[in-house]
Structure 1
Amino acid sequence: MYNRTCEGLVHAQSKVQLLNSECVQEAQRVNAAQRREQSLRKAAALEKQKYLEAEKEVEMAKQLLAKETYERQMAELKAQKESLEKKRIVEALLSSDRRYKRYTMQDIQKATGFLAESNMIGEGAYGKVYKCSLDHTSVAVKILRPDAADRKEEFLKEVEVLSQLRHPHIVLLLGACPENGCLVYEYMENGNLEEHILRRKGRPPLPWPVRFRIAFEVACGLAFLHQSKPESIVHRDLKPGNILLDKNFVSKIGDVGLAKIISDVVPDSVTQYRDSVIAGTLFYMDPEYQRTGTLRPKSDLYSFGVIALQLLASRHPNGLITKFENAVSSGTLSEILDKSIIDWPLAQAEELAHIALKCCKLRCRDRPDLETEVLPILKRLAEFADSVSSTGRDHVPKHFYCPILQEIMDNPHIAGDGFTYEHGAIKAWLDRHDVSPVTREKLQNKTLTPNYMLHSAIQEWRKLKG
Structure 2
Amino acid sequence: MILPTTEWVDTYGTANVSFHQPSLPLQRDQALAIINKLSHRRASSGSVASEVSCNDDPALTSSHSIVSEMQFSSGSSGNSMYKSFHRDNLPDSSDQASVSEISENVHRSNDQDDPRLQIERLRVKLQHLHKLHECAQHESFDTTQELKKLRTQQIEDEIKLKKLNWQRTEYKWEEIQASTSSFSSALMIGKGSYGTVYKAKFHHTVAAVKVLNSPEGCGSQQLQQELEVLGKIRHPHLLMMLGACPEHGCLVYEYMENGSLDDMLQRRNNTPPLTWFDRFRITWEVATALMFLHSSKPEPIIHRDLKPANILLDRNLVSKIGDVGLSTLLPSMGQYLSTMIKNTAPVGTLCYIDPEYQRTGVLSMKSDVYALGIVILQLLTARLPMDLAHVVETALEDGCFVDILDASAGQWPSNETQELAALALKCSEMRRKDRPDLNEHVLPTLERLKDVATKARESVPQGHTAPPSHFICPILQEVMIDPYVASDGYTYDRKAIELWLSTNDTSPMTNLRLPNKSLIPNHSLRSAIMDWRSKSK
Query: Does the alignment reach a TM-score above 0.5?
Result: yes
For 1:430-449, what aligned pairs fall within 5 Å after superposition? none
Q: Does 1:263 align with 2:263?
A: no
Deviation, 1:149, is 6.4
Residues of 2 paired with 1:315 and 1:188: CA distance? 23
Q: 1:119 to 1:342 in 2, by over 3 A?
A: closer
Give the match's secondary structure for 1:383: helix
Give the match's secondary structure for 2:407: coil
1:136 to 204, 215, 222: 204
Q: 1:188 to 1:325 in 2, by over 3 A?
A: same
Residues of 2 paired with 1:307 and 1:240: CA distance? 6
Residues of 2 paired with 1:188 and 1:269: CA distance? 31
Residue in 2 that maps onto 1:298: 366
Q: Deviations over 1:20-47 (max 9, x none)?
A: xxxxxxxxxxxxxxxxxxxxxxxxxxxx
Give the match's secondary structure for 2:408: coil
Q: 1:159 to 1:458 in 2, by over 3 A?
A: farther
1:110 to 166, 178, 181: 178
Residue in 2 that maps onto 1:462: 532
| Length, aligned pairs only | 324
Residues of 1 paired with 2:433 and 2:389: CA distance? 18
Residue in 2 that maps onto 1:343: 411
Q: 1:199 to 1:391 in 2, by over 3 A?
A: farther
Residue in 2 that maps onto 1:353: 421
Query: Which structure would you say has the larger RCO, counting Cα contacts within 8 Å and 6 or more residues apart?
Result: 1
1:214 to 274, 279, 282: 282
Give the match's secondary structure for 1:335: helix
For 1:169-248, what aligned pairs fall within 5 Å after superposition? 169-248=237-316
Answer yes or no: is the 8 Å Cα contact 1:126–1:148 preserved in 2.
no
The letter of the residue matching 1:185 is: Y
Q: 1:374 to 1:179 in 2, by over 3 A?
A: same
Deviation, 1:148, is 6.5
Q: 1:106 to 1:458 in 2, by over 3 A?
A: farther
Q: Deviations over 1:39-67 (max 9, x none)?
A: xxxxxxxxxxxxxxxxxxxxxxxxxxxxx
The letter of the residue matching 2:394 is: N
Residue in 2 that maps onto 1:145: 213
The letter of the residue matching 1:227 is: S
Q: 1:271 to 1:137 in 2, by over 3 A?
A: closer
Q: 1:118 to 1:393 in 2, by over 3 A?
A: farther
The letter of the residue matching 1:143 is: V
The letter of the residue matching 2:380 is: L
Residues of 1 paired with 2:462 and 2:368: CA distance? 30
Deviation, 1:460, is 4.6
Give the match's secondary structure for 2:362: coil
Q: Deviations over 1:214-273 (max 9, x none)?
A: 11111111111111111110000000000000011100000000000111468799798x
Give the match's secondary structure for 1:289: helix
Deviation, 1:288, is 1.2
Residues of 1 paired with 2:283 and 2:170: CA distance? 33
| TM-score calculated relative to the size of structure 2 | 0.55
Larger radius of gyration: 2
Give the match's secondary structure for 1:174: strand
Residues of 2 paired with 1:391 and 1:143: CA distance? 44
Deviation, 1:279, is 0.8
Deviation, 1:127, is 2.6
Structure 1 range deviating more: 124-133 or 284-293: 124-133
For 1:49-64, what aligned pairs fall within 5 Å after superposition? none
Give the match's secondary structure for 1:244: strand
Deviation, 1:456, is 6.2
| TM-score calculated relative to the size of structure 1 | 0.63
Answer yes or no: is the 8 Å Cα contact 2:306–2:352 preserved in 1.
yes
Deviation, 1:150, is 11
2:193 to 105, 125, 129: 125
Q: 1:321 to 1:278 in 2, by over 3 A?
A: same
1:277 to 338, 345, 360: 345
Answer yes or no: is the 8 Å Cα contact 2:260–2:313 preserved in 1.
yes
Deviation, 1:131, is 0.6
Structure 1 range deviating more: 324-333 or 387-396: 387-396
Q: 1:392 to 1:112 in 2, by over 3 A?
A: farther
Give the match's secondary structure for 2:220: helix
Q: 1:369 to 1:454 in 2, by over 3 A?
A: farther
Q: Deviations over 1:162-204 (max 9, x none)?
A: 1111111000001111111111100001110111222333333
Residue in 2 that maps onto 1:168: 236
Q: Deviations over 1:104-126 (max 9, x none)?
A: 11111111112122111112222
Q: 1:216 to 1:98 in 2, by over 3 A?
A: closer
The letter of the residue matching 2:532 is: R
Q: 1:453 to 1:212 in 2, by over 3 A?
A: farther
Q: Deviations over 1:389-441 (max 9, x none)?
A: 259899999xx99xxxxx755589xxxxxxxxxx9xxxxxxxxxxxxxxxxxx
Residue in 2 that maps onto 1:325: 393
Q: Does 1:100 align with 2:168?
A: yes
Residue in 1 that maps onto 2:9: none
Deviation, 1:455, is 5.4
For 1:82-97, what aligned pairs fall within 5 Å after superposition? none
Residues of 2 paired with 1:392 and 1:253: CA distance? 28
Q: Does 1:389 align with 2:457?
A: yes
Give the match's secondary structure for 1:129: strand
What's the RMSD between the two structures over aligned residues? 3.2
Q: Deviations over 1:129-178 (max 9, x none)?
A: 11121241111000123646698121111111111111110000011111
**Any gaps of 5 or more consecutive residues in structure 1?**
1-96, 402-406, 413-422, 424-451
The letter of the residue matching 1:121 is: I
